[in-house]
Amino acid sequence: MRAEVQEFYRGTYLENTGRYRGIWAWLTSTDHKRIGLMYLYAIAAFFIVGVIIGLLMRIELISPGKTIVEPQTYNGFFTVHGIIMIFMVVIPGLSATFGNFCLPIMIGARDVAFPRLNLFSFYLFLFGSFLAILSQFLRHGPPDTGWSFYAPYSTTTGTNVIMATTAAFILGFSSILTGLNFIVTVHRMRAPGMTFFRMPLFPWALYATAWIQLLATPVVGITLLMIIAERLFNIGFFNPELGGDPVLYQHLFWIYSHPAVYIMILPAMGVITEIIPTFCQRKVYGYKAIALSSVAIAAVGYLVWGHHMYTSGMSGKSLWLFSFLTFVVAVPSAIKVFNWLATMYKGSIDMKPPFLFALFFIFLFTIGGLTGLVLGALATNIQVHDTSFVVAHFHYIIFGGMGFAAFAAVHYWFPKMYGRMYNIKQATIASIIMFIGFNLLYFPQFIIGIEGMPRRYYDYFPEFQPAQIISTIGGFVLTAGLILMFYNLIRSARKGEKAPANPWNGTTLEWQIPSPPPLENFEEIPHIEEKPYSFK
Amino acid sequence: MTDNHHSASAHITPYLTLATVLVVLLALTFVTIEITSFDLKAWNVTLALLVACVKGYLVLSYFMHLKYENLLIKILVGMVIVLFALIIIITYIDYLFR
Amino acid sequence: MEHQAKAHLLEHRDDEASKLGMWLFIFTEILLFGGLFLVYAVYRAMYHTQFHEASLELNVIFGAVNTIVLLVSSMAVAMALTALQENKVKLSRQLIWLTILCAFIFLVNKYFEWGGKFEHDIYPGSELLKKLEHGHILYFGLYFAMTGLHALHVTVGMIILIVVERRIKAGKVHAGKFVFLENAALYWHLVDLIWIFLFPLLYLIT
């Protein structure tokens, strides 16, 4: 490292004090802050790949029939786009990145409970991701099943399903171990005086998420093994010719994959709950409601999986039960939205990029959530199941929700992580461009979805084309915003103006230590006397 | 300030307790084999599972020391069992009523 | 409310945390096997009679012996922990070897059981299975999947126990620091616990 950079990093976690130099100092580090950053860089890289695949899909869809690729290739595209975005980006997502970086600091600890296990989780993440990428290039061709690997197609298609499902299994294991680590960390390593109800809300969200990671992921693990067993040994669980039921696969798959969406969104909501009080300089409205609603979402979220399967032939009682529970689980989310807005009321609002992203989050997440009710209701679901309406819905929630929350998180904690500030104006402009591009990209898909445009379809009726064109343009506008944002952040990480320890006047513990933090976070572990978000 | 290492006063399960639990478990194993040798229709699987649950409870409480652990772990074990049961019950609501 | 030790990061040792971590891992194993139990539950309800017919292929004596062997092994490792906590290191190591021996007997039994099945052309994808009823095919699929995954865990458990025993011999695990044995024992009890349910569900279907 150059002398001036070395000087800047002295005394912080970015200084290399161990036996290793360069990249090895990072790859062998058990420091939660470095692990969090390594996850961030890997996930950002995978995100870019996923965006590129998404853009290729949008180019293909700009006109009916073949535009740039053959149908089989298109099937491979939407499969790998899903695998990358779901398993390699949004599920590790905010937990592995900002969870790792911030959780110990925010609860007054020096690291997580099991630092070496943490690094092992990261290695599993890299290895699983490598296998997922490998599945694209091996002999039998990239998987074409969709990221959901539905039987019986996944058990009979000739493509590299075994490699991809193995990759997902390993990635799942990484997720499980991170969840385990965070649960023990929260239970055992809070600073003296920090009771559960004095813990800030991002740790609460991470805690609820960790439980989902721990308990739901094994179910998809065993399910993926069953797919492999079908392909290798013809075991018959999902094969009607041998007595099996493909719908049972769907049950098993969604028993994980529905809670998985809460893995994606709960930390995101936690981030928003941190940002809003800081930029309104007001304590959170309804702290306990937000804390407990995270847990409620996690708990009820285990029981709603069948709403992905209304058209599969389930029993009437089942349909009724799942729809009812789906409406129940919407309530705690709505509570959060109400509490965020109430926190802003009469607050001293500072429209910095983190807060702007948070506002965009609330808008986009609300649209996603409301359209979720259209999907959750039995009658309307029949019309929109497996159409672009679903695609728009989940992109509003996952990308508009968790994605924008991730951008908010980067812009919030950037000065803490790097000790530097980014260009506020560029960040603001980038966020607005992304917001506009996002809505152009996905809103038309609601409309044509209701009109009958199927999802995962390569070809379509000409009347859907105008909307598809707008959508594709939106994709490129969004990408322009992303490029500006990435440029700003990457440049500022090295050359940005020095940032103070607490640029936003936040009250949580990470803002009470230097930027960048020292290796062991705290000189002395603080003793917690009061509730969080006490703004003077 | 507790050290979080095990102090000398940590509970140690006596050999006699462990041996007694084994004897009971072996007895219950034979009970299971016996009751499944008659045809009691739906009761067979219910009773066999019930006995298995009793055996499981004994293994959890005494071999796995759950009886003497702190309340947190006991609650968590209960929670996981409830979750698993709910998953089976809800899936059954599909299959039984098709 | 636990107090954070002010000890430096490197000296921080929290046995309760290690144990909690192990219990959490056990929860994941319960859910992992749980998926297979779910599949079993669904198909047994669907094909009750055929499950019964197919289960007659299994030898209840083999299954009962294996059950007894695992129950004894569970007691043995629990006693090993007691012994170590009372600083009776030699007894503890002997009891762990007894546990490992039981595990080995279990696996040998399993080897013969499965071998017998293969000899009779009973395995997923075999010619014989194709001629059987749906319920039979699914039963055997579940039999191999569940006992196979379980046997894999028995093997892993054996290896962990051997590692623990070596560490006790080296003095790294002792009366003042025994959480590693405690956790290894928990893992072993889980293996026993799963078999407690597998045995009646696979071998004793009336």
Domains of chain C listed by start with CATH number: 17-203 (1.20.120.80)
Tell me the residue type at B81: I
Q: What is the pLDDT of residue B7?
A: 45
Rounded to whole angstroms, the Cα distance separating A36 from A34 reads 5
Would you state the pLDDT for residue A9? 85
pLDDT digits (tens, 9 = 90+) for C132-168: 999 999 999 999 999 999 999 999 999 999 999 999 9
Q: What is the pLDDT of residues A401-446, one digit of tens each?
A: 999 999 999 999 999 999 999 999 999 999 999 999 999 999 999 9
Q: What are the CB-based long-range contacts (under 8 Å, 24+) for C190-193?
A: C190/C26, C190/C29, C190/C30, C190/C153, C191/C70, C191/C150, C191/C153, C191/C154, C191/C157, C192/B59, C192/B63, C192/C70, C192/C71, C192/C73, C192/C74, C193/B56, C193/B59, C193/B60
**Cβ neighbours of A226 in C, within 8 Å:** 35, 39, 145
Name the closest residue on chain A to residue B92, using Cα atoms: A318
Say yes or no: A25 contacts chain B, CB-CB below 8 A. no
Question: B79, B84, B94, B95: which to substitute to probe chain A, counting the most A Cβ within 10 Å?
Answer: B94
Nearest residue to A486 via CA among A441, A442, A422, A439 = A422
Q: Report the SS3 class of residue A227.
A: helix
Residue with tokens 């092992």: A120
Interatomic CA distance for residues A19 and A22, integer angstroms? 10
CA terminus-to-terminus distance, chain A: 41
Which of A84, A51, A40, A88 shows the shortest CA–CA distance to A477? A51
Single-letter amino acid, residue C82: T
How far is Cα C188 from Cα C206, in angstroms, rounded to an integer? Answer: 29
Q: How big is the CA angle at A294 (ends A293 and A300), to the nearest 5 degrees?
A: 80
**C-alpha to C-alpha distance for A342 and A294, rounded to whole angstroms:** 18
pLDDT category, C8, cuts 50, 70, 90?
very low
Give the residue from C69, C79, C188, C198 with the most B CB atoms within 10 Å of its CB, the best one to mutate.
Answer: C79
According to DSSP, the residues that pair with A387 across neighbouring strands are A454
Distance to chain C for B97, nearest Cα, Å: 12
3-class secondary structure, A454: strand
- Residue C5: its pLDDT value, please? 36
Cis preceding linkage at A516, omega within 30: yes
Show the beta-strand stretches assigned E in A240-309: none
Give residue A328's identity as a one-letter amino acid code.
Answer: V
Separation in Å, CA of A143 to nearest CA in chain B: 29
**pLDDT band (50, 70, 90) for residue A6:** confident
Residue with tokens 């084994």: B22
Distance in angstroms between the alpha carbons of the first and the last residue of chain B: 59
A39 compared with A18, residue with greater pLDDT: A39
Determine the Cα–Cα distance for residues C53 and C133; give it in Å rounded to an integer. 10
Q: Is C124 on the interface with A (CB under 8 A)?
A: yes
A334-374 residue pLDDT tens: 999 999 999 999 999 999 999 999 999 999 999 999 999 99
How far apart are the C-alpha atoms of A160 and A141, rounded to whole Å?
6
- Domain range summary for chain A, segments of one domain joined by +: 31-512
Pick the closest to residue A122 from A171, A187, A194 (CA basis). A171
Pairwise CB contact (< 8 Å): A190 & C133: no
Q: Tokens 């290894």 appear where?
A: C184
φ, ψ for residue A255, nearest 5 deg: -60, -30
Quick one: which H or E segment has residue A420? strand A420-421
**Could you tell me which residues come within 8 angstroms of residue A318 by beta carbon, excluding any fewer than 6 positions away?**
A306, B90, B93, B94, B97
Distance from C-alpha of B43 to C-alpha of A308, rounded to nearest angstrom? 35
Q: Which amino acid is at A529?
A: E
Chains contacting chain B through 3 or more C-beta pairs under 8 A:
A, C
> Does C87 reach chain B within 8 Å, measured CB to CB?
no
Which residues in chain C have their CB less than 8 angstroms from residue A229's CB? 124, 141, 145
Number of domains in chain B: 1
> Does B3 reside within a domain?
no
Distance, CA of C63 to CA of C193 (rounded, Å): 14
The DSSP 8-state label assigned to residue A403 in this structure reads: I
Q: What is the mean pLDDT of residues A492-504?
A: 94
> B32 in a domain, yes or no?
yes
Tell me which chain C residues have a C-beta less than 8 angstroms from the C-beta of A251: 38
Q: How confident is the model at residue A7, as a pLDDT?
A: 83
* Residue C174 β-bridge partners: C177
Long-range own/partner contacts, residues B80-83 (CB < 8 A, 24 or more apart): B80/A215, B80/C27, B80/C30, B80/C31, B83/A215, B83/A302, B83/C31
Q: How far apart are CA C23 and CA B73, in angstroms?
A: 8
Q: Could C35 and A218 be called an inter-chain contact, meaning their C-beta atoms sit closer than 8 Å?
A: yes
For chain A, percent of residues with pLDDT exceeding 90: 95
pLDDT of residue A102 exceeding 60, the answer is yes
For residues C91 and C81, give the distance between their C-alpha atoms in angstroms, rounded to a whole number.
10
Among candidates A368, A408, A406, which has minimal Cα distance to A93? A406
Task: Tell me if A259 sits within 8 A of A216, measured CB to CB.
Answer: yes
Alpha helices (H) along A138-200: 153-156, 161-188
Out of A215, A316, A321, the one facing B90 most closely (by C-beta) is: A321
How confident is the prediction for chain A on average, in pLDDT? 96
Greatest alpha-carbon span in chain C: 68
Please answer yes or no on whether B94 and A315 come within 8 Å at the CB atom: yes
pLDDT band at A106 (very low <50, low <70, confident <90, very high): very high
Which pLDDT value is given to residue B71? 95
User: Residue C11: its pLDDT value, please?
Assistant: 57
Is the bond leading into A518 cis (omega within 30 degrees of zero)? Answer: no
Q: How many CB atoms lie within 10 A of CB C116?
A: 14
Residues in chain C with CB shorter than 8 Å from the CB of B6 are: 15, 176-179
In this model, does residue B3 exceed pLDDT 50? no
Of C20, C33, C123, the CB nearest to A184: C20
- C89 — contact with chain B (CB < 8 Å)? no
Residue C33: the pLDDT is 98
CA distances from A348 to A245, A282, A532, B93, C45 (A): 58, 8, 18, 52, 62
Q: Write the CA distances from C56 to A419, A512, B29, integer angstroms.
A: 70, 69, 19
- List CB contacts (< 8 A) between C182 and chain B: 65
Q: Residue B67: what pLDDT?
A: 95
Please answer whether residues A273 and A205 qualify as being in contact, where contact means their C-beta atoms are separated by less than 8 angstroms: yes
Asked if residue A105 has pLDDT above 60, the reply is yes
Tell me the CATH class for A31-512. Answer: mainly alpha
Tell me, what amino acid is at A493? A
Q: Tell me which long-range contacts A328-332 makes (C-beta under 8 A, separation of at least 24).
A: A328/A300, A329/A297, A329/A300, A329/A301, A329/A304, A330/A369, A330/A372, A330/A373, A330/A376, A332/A293, A332/A294, A332/A296, A332/A297, A332/A300
Residues recorded for chain B? 98
Identify the domain containing residue B80 by its residue range.
13-96
> Quick check: helix, strand or coil at residue A497?
strand
C125 inside 8 A of chain A by CB: yes
Contact indicator for A251, A305 with CB cutoff of 8 Å: yes
- Written as one string, the DSSP assignment of chain C is -PPPP-S-GGG---HHHHHHHHHHHHHHHHHHHHHHHHHHHHHHHHTHHHHHHHHTTS-HHHHHHHHHHHHHHHHHHHHHHHHHHTT-HHHHHHHHHHHHHHHHHHHHHHHHHHHHHHHTT-STT-HHHHHS-HHHHHHHHHHHHHHHHHHHHHHHHHHHHHHHHHHHHTTSSBTTB-HHHHHHHHHHHHHHHHHHHHHHHHH---
In a domain, B48, yes or no: yes
Cβ-based neighbour number of residue A370 at 10 Å: 13
Q: Is C179 on the interface with B (CB under 8 A)?
A: yes
- Per-residue pLDDT for C6 more than 80? no
Indicate if the pLDDT at residue B78 is higher than 50: yes
B11 DSSP 8-state letter: -
A419: left (phi over 0), alpha (psi -120 to 50) or beta: left
- B6 is a domain residue: no
User: pLDDT band at residue A15, thresholds of 50, 70 and 90?
Assistant: confident
